[in-house]
Chain A
Amino acid sequence: MELLRIAEKTFESRLFTGTGKFSSNSVMEAALLASGTELVTVALRRVDVDGALLRKQTGAAKAGHQDEMLRHLRHPSFNLLPNTSGVRNAREAIYAAQLAREALGTHWLKLEIHPDPRYLMPDAVETLNAARELVRDDFVVLPYVHADPVLCKQLEEVGCAAVMPLGSPIGSNRGLQSRAFLEIIIEQAGIPVIVDAGIGRPSDAALALEMGADAVLVNTAIAVAHDPVRMADAFRLAVMAGRLAYESGVPAERLHAEASSPLTAFLDA
């Protein structure tokens, strides 16, 4: 299968994952390893920033609870993708991004700005403003947005490395409700499209990849499954199957059989 390239990195796995909602850090680690993921997003607000900075500066690990999550994510195959979940505007997002770069030592960023804490709906205006600033500041920006084709082109123009449109409300497990718009985004995109949010089943993930999405990001469906490790494996297989199907050429859907050509048959007569 083709490798996925985003900014300076290439990925074999097209399954990106989150780290929230797991019953423990060890279950999270086992599930992420089973998923084969190479890009793992971490909410900055869950990270022990002071501890991470201290370790960076002095090499000493601070004893504490929070440090534990990062310890479970230290695998050569995992690239960390800090996210700004919790911020409400561009100003807070930029601050959080700088803190994340400092604490976690990566300039990759999943930009999430949701002023609405209920459905976590992304704010298009603030996201575009923040993306423009962060790209200027040399961040690799992956913005979480509505499945809005115009916004996705604008984000591409300001220099984002990929776009992450939602399939349905985050955590809802409702699948690709925004399918018609995702198809337009995928068709128009000059940068990778990662379908984020709402993917509840492996079949949703397979569908996204079949449609030509470059990757998917899955968290809730794995974290709250009865057996997160096996569910992670199911998503790994589904994403591979979807991509393989896409690369092989998925046959187009047809509503009617095309048995004869009554309108043009006279040309052959």
Chain B
Amino acid sequence: MPTTALPRTQPAITSFEQTFNDWAWEDATALIHSRTAADVERALQNPTRDLRDFAALISPAAAPYLERMAALANQATLRRFGRVIQLYAPLYLSNECQNICTYCGFSMDNALERKTLNPAEILRETEVLKAMGYEHVLLVTGEANRSVGMPYFEQAFNLLRPHFSQLSLEVQPLEEQDYRRLTELGLHSVLVYQETYRQETYKVHHPKGRKSSFAYRLDTPDRLGRAGVHKIGLGVLIGLEDWRSDSFFTAMHLRYLSRTYWRTKYSISFPRLRPHAGGLQPTSIMSDRELVQLITAYRLLDPDVELSLSTRETERFRDNVIPLGVTTFSAGSKTNPGGYACAEESLEQFEISDERSPAEVAAVIRKSGYQPVWKDWDRGYVG
């Protein structure tokens, strides 16, 4: 073992809350809506772009520039990522949840059979995912701290690590030392979506459970950064609030994090809340055109951020955005615990729009002139 000559310097502890509190929601909205065609032109011409440029690119004023934004996003993505799309699958471990979230199938007040996979069931899911070719999986749960807490996660990581090259997590926010511990056990990335950055709206949609604390959730990426997790995934649930303002705050969060935790990678997702019978109706509906505007704006703001698109989106939309800046796809996803090994499709978190198999999606990626990549990490890489 080598001796590291210098101790790693520890930066002062900071928090996004300080930056966040400098901005009122209304100010962000006003900034975006006051952008003009000249601001958009300037944003497109700048070799590096800041938050004001991003505000211009997501503003209504940028709508006529969509084709140019797409061309620039395509070039920037090719330079940084090449002609490849990474594939991953979500692995739902549990739908037990003690939160009430107005938009989620797992919400505590939903009459739904609750299920947490035991080790044998996890291995059965593993077998199916491996047969599909997966090397990267995203472990997903609700929030049930007593039955699905750190001891459960440690057990799951020990069980899964020998089978997959990359393990990511989308579960309740944890403490810094928990993230450190899981990183030692092979954790690569953590996704933690703020859902919305507007506090009043957040309270309406998260009335009960630990998730009702806006501040604790907002602070989670800082804990992840300090714990040295390799990649942090951000995003909002599009439809809870005005997507432009929420995306502006997401971008602000991304900027703050990438300057503070410069050893960490970042990814962004943009799940859209879909109107469906009996479910929560979105307060603002984002069109396909607007989602393309957002995807390309993120790419033009940050050439290095990974952009991920799930099976919530339709086949047609997913097939067509491959060259526009997206870097990561899920495919063949099941959003219920045990969904891969058992045929039954109840207990789902959300409905899937793109139901094609991973092999079919990979074939479409290849047909678009891109290479599907299944493995881009090795379980031996532990920090």
- Which chain B residues (1-16) contact chain A, with CB distance < 8 Å? 1-6
Is the C-beta of A224 less than 8 angstroms from some C-beta in chain B?
Answer: yes
Given the known inter-chain contacts A21-B82, A23-B370, A92-B383, please indicate yes or no for A44 contacting B263, CB distance below 8 A.
Answer: no
B-chain residues with CB within 8 Å of residue A173 when the two chains form the complex: 79
Is the pair A171, B79 in contact by a Cβ cutoff of 8 Å? yes
Verify B383–A99 contact, CB threshold 8 A: no
Using a Cβ–Cβ cut-off of 8 Å, how many residues does chain B contribute to the interface with A? Answer: 37
Judged by a CB distance under 8 angstroms, whether B374 is at the interface is yes
Contact in complex: A224, B83 (CB < 8 Å): yes
B-chain residues with CB within 8 Å of residue A88 when the two chains form the complex: 263, 383
Residue ID in chain A nearest B358 by CB atoms: A65
How many whole Å from B335's CB to the nearest CB in chain A? 24
A44 with B378, Cβ < 8 A, contacts A23-B371, A117-B265 known: yes
Task: Verify if B80 is at the interface (C-beta below 8 Å from A).
Answer: yes
Do B84 and A65 touch across chains, with their CB atoms under 8 A apart?
Answer: no
Q: Is A248 an interface residue (CB 8 A)?
A: no
In the complex, per-residue mask of A83-108: 1 if CB is within 8 Å of any chain B CB, else 0:
00011111110111001000000000
Residues A96 and B380 in contact, CB atoms below 8 Å apart: yes
**Which of A127-135, A205-213, A255-263 is found at the contact surface with chain B?**
A127-135
Whole-angstrom distance between the Cβ of B179 and the nearest chain A Cβ: 16
A-side contacts of B4, CB under 8 Å: 89-90, 125-126, 129
CB <8 Å contact, B375 and A46: yes
Q: Are A129 and B133 in contact (CB-based, < 8 A)? A: no
Q: For the complex, what is the distance from the CA of A46 to the CA of B376, rounded to whole Å?
A: 5
Q: B381 in the interface, Cβ–Cβ < 8 Å?
A: yes
What is the bound-complex CA distance between A223 and B382, given in angstroms? 29
Task: Flag if B378 contacts A117 (CB, 8 Å).
Answer: no
Task: Contacts A21-B81, A23-B371, A171-B80 given; indicate if A117 touches B264 (C-beta within 8 A).
Answer: yes
Contact A86/B381 with A94-B2, A125-B4, A126-B4 known, Cβ cut-off 8 Å: yes
Check A45–B381 contact: CB distance below 8 A: yes
- Shortest distance from the beta carbon of B182 to any chain A beta carbon, whole Å: 17
* Closest residue of B by beta carbon distance from A223: B82
> In the bound complex, do residue B304 and residue A117 qualify as a contact, i.e. CB atoms below 8 Å apart?
yes
Complex contact A21–B83 (CB within 8 A): yes
Interface contact B262-A129, CB-CB below 8 Å: no
**B378 touches which one: A45, A91, A224 (CB < 8 A)?**
A45
Instruction: Map CB proximity to A onto B167-202 as digits: 1 under 8 Å, 0 otherwise.
Output: 000000000000000000000000000000000000
**Chain B contacts of A65 at CB under 8 A?**
133, 372, 374-375
**Chain A residues, CB < 8 A from B84:** 20-23
- Residues A45 and B262 in contact, CB atoms below 8 Å apart: no
Tell me the complex Cα distance, A20–B373, Å.
Answer: 10
Please tell me if B369 contacts chain A, counting CB pairs below 8 Å.
yes
B82-A66 in contact (CB<8A)? no
- In whole Å, how far is B378's beta carbon from the nearest beta carbon of chain A? 5
Q: Are B1 and A118 in contact (CB under 8 A)?
A: no
A158 to B79, CA, bound (A): 34
Is A116 within 8 A of B263, CB to CB? yes
Contact at A45–B377, with CB atoms within 8 Å? yes
Would you call A66 and B375 a contact (CB within 8 A)? yes
CB A45 to nearest CB in B, in angstroms, measures 5
User: What is the total number of residues of chain A having a CB less than 8 Å from a CB of chain B?
Assistant: 43
A106 to B372, CA, bound (A): 27
Residue of A nearest to B130 (CB): A64
A46, B373: Cβ atoms closer than 8 Å: yes
**Other-chain contact of B2, A45, A49, A86, A130 (Cβ < 8 Å):** A130
What chain B residues lie within 8 Å of A45 (beta carbons)? 165, 375-378, 381
Which B residue sits closest to A133, measured CB to CB? B2
Given A23-B370, A117-B265, A223:B83 Cβ within 8 A: yes
CA distance A21 to B80 in the complex (A): 9
A115 to B4, CA, bound (A): 14
Across-interface contacts of B378 in A (CB, < 8 A): 44-45, 47, 49, 86, 96, 99
Cα-based distance from A24 to B362 in the complex (angstroms): 12
- Provide a sorted-by-A list of 28 A–B residue pairs whose CB atoms are within 8 angstroms: A23-B370, A24-B371, A45-B375, A45-B377, A47-B378, A65-B375, A87-B381, A88-B383, A89-B383, A91-B2, A92-B380, A92-B381, A92-B382, A96-B378, A96-B381, A117-B264, A118-B304, A125-B5, A126-B4, A129-B4, A129-B5, A130-B2, A132-B2, A133-B1, A133-B2, A171-B80, A223-B82, A224-B83
Task: Give the 9 A-B residue pairs with the shortest CB-CB distance, closest first.
Answer: A21-B82, A23-B83, A129-B2, A117-B265, A90-B2, A224-B78, A115-B263, A65-B374, A45-B378
With contacts A49-B378, A224-B83 known, what are 9 further pairs, Cβ within 8 A? A22-B371, A23-B371, A45-B377, A66-B135, A66-B375, A92-B381, A95-B380, A116-B262, A224-B78
